[in-house]
Amino acid sequence: MTASLTDTRSAELYRRALELIPGGVNSPVRAMRSIGREPIFIARGEGAELIDADANRFVDYVCSWGPLIHGHAHPNVIAAIAAAAAAGTSFGAPTAGEVELAAEVVRRMDGVEMLRMTSSGTEAAMTALRIARAATGREHVLKFAGAYHGHSDALLAHAGSGLATQGLPASPGVPANVAAGTIVIPWNDLDALAAATERYQLAAIIAEPLPANMGLVPAADGFLQALRERADATGALLVLDEVISGFRVARGGAQELLGVDGDLVIMGKVIGGGLPAAAVGGRAELMRMLAPAGDVYQAGTLSGNPLAVAAGLATLELLDDDAYMRLAASTERLAAGLREAAASAGGSSGGHPVQVVSMPGLLTVFFNERPVRSFADAQACDLDAYAAWCRELLARGVYPPPSQFEAWFPSLAHTDEQIDRTIEAAAAAFACLPACLCPPGCAPIGGVPFRVPEAAATA
């Protein structure tokens, strides 16, 4: 049976927001249009739960899209922010906290010798590419279809036909000549990688070592090593975007977990502990190209903001080896439970199969017959089924990412009881999905069409 959700106050706030904010939201995915409903307005967060404007309570797997690895309102983080705020919210001058945070990052992340703070991942990515172009004297940048590195003009490009094509603008307002400097190829495609690196003189290859903006799509065996090898062979810099994975999947990020190092690394989310903060780091000789040490200009009034720095330091201080072991265990508990929920709801025949892919602190449920290896595979998912499943989860007190192309973010605040409750809600949502997808006035035709293919047993 389909569950329901009280959302009177959220609906009122949305009507008002539509008059004052484009689309009623300040970032597009929050609108929840891709799952066929209006946005839910949040009043507060407590640990692993959200409470909305109508007093509905949810187990939260968005966690502010990744920063809240310790959950909402962790007392250590809140205390650090309060102490910093009491001393002043911004100075436009250096502080000791910036030095301490840079030192902590350098200790954790191999290959990062210096750090430059920014206020957003978009700024950090833009800065990394500016350094790469200055260091190499080249202009072209290689990225991968489905990867999101912020909304700067050069990186809002998508692939055309063929193995390696010049990018086309993916948004109105992006100049075609700017997008043309970005080469876009499929993720996990070694032939396309070879073709692109042979055809173009690249300043940089930019990649998420653990792509999570098309859903979680890990690299195939040897692919990350191929990126490193092709960068070295052609003189390009390898820029690794760890805005999502950095300090989430391991102490040293995905680079430590997967055994690959970047020349430059983009960081965000966890590094700010829930406040606006990001950074670019790398080898000292590259980082010293930035002004005032060098001629590559980058600046930001709120870069290294003392509140964000304090939140980031407090967050990182809590992330020891035991924390990562606990996060990995709870993520796998959730992933295994979701696979079992789909299998028990659907048996071995018919319907919409799912793939559950997980890494420590990251997870995606793909509504797809086969394992997802690229953005094209992700686009082939049953988006209607995912949307209906998400609506049912929300109605049962679970807050998933409202898009098939976004990762789930389990946190250290999620308890076994909350994970079990999530699995129970997921099973009920799977079971009612045929009715949810049925056109108005029709009746579902026997059985629950969900199963987990054998290929999804491991991720």
Taking only the tens place, the pLDDT of each residue in 321-345 is 999 999 999 999 999 999 999 998 8
Q: 432 is written with which tokens?
A: 């009612």
Determine the 3-state secondary structure of 334 from DSSP.
Answer: helix
Q: What is the side-by-side order of every strand in the sheet holding 165-166?
A: 114-118, 278-282, 264-268, 237-242, 202-207, 140-144, 182-185, 165-166
- What is the per-residue DSSP string for 203-251? EEEEE-SS--SSS--PPPTTHHHHHHHHHHHHT-EEEEEETTTTTTSST
Residue 357: alpha-carbon gap to chain centroid: 14
Residue appearing with tokens 């090898």 = 229
CATH for 75-317 is: 3.40.640.10
Vertex 221 angle, CA 219 and 224, to 5° = 55
Q: Residue 322: exposed, middle, or buried by beta-carbon count in 10 A (0-12, 13-18, 19+)?
A: exposed
Pairing of strands 42-46, 278-282: unpaired
Which stretch of 38-52, 134-148, 349-363, 415-429 has the lowest confidence by average pLDDT?
Answer: 349-363
User: What amino acid occupies position 275?
Assistant: L
CATH topology (fold) of 8-72+320-456: Aspartate Aminotransferase, domain 1 (3.90.1150)
Find the Cα–Cα–Cα–Cα dihedral 111, 112, 118, 119, rounded to 10°.
80
104 in Cβ contact with 116 (< 8 Å):
no
Whether 450 shows a pLDDT value over 70: the answer reads: no
Q: Whats the size of the chain, residue-wise?
A: 459
Band of residue 121 on the pLDDT scale cut at 50, 70, 90: very high
Residues carrying an active site annotation: 148, 241, 269
pLDDT value of residue 446: 31
pLDDT averaged over the chain?
Answer: 90
Residue ranges covered by each domain of the chain: 8-72+320-456, 75-317
- What is the per-residue DSSP string for 59-72? EES-GGGTT-TT-B
CA dist 246 to 241, 249, 311, 359, Å?
Answer: 8, 7, 16, 13
Q: Model's pTM, two decimal places?
A: 0.91
pLDDT value of residue 169: 56
Asked if domains 8-72+320-456 and 75-317 share a fold, the reply is no
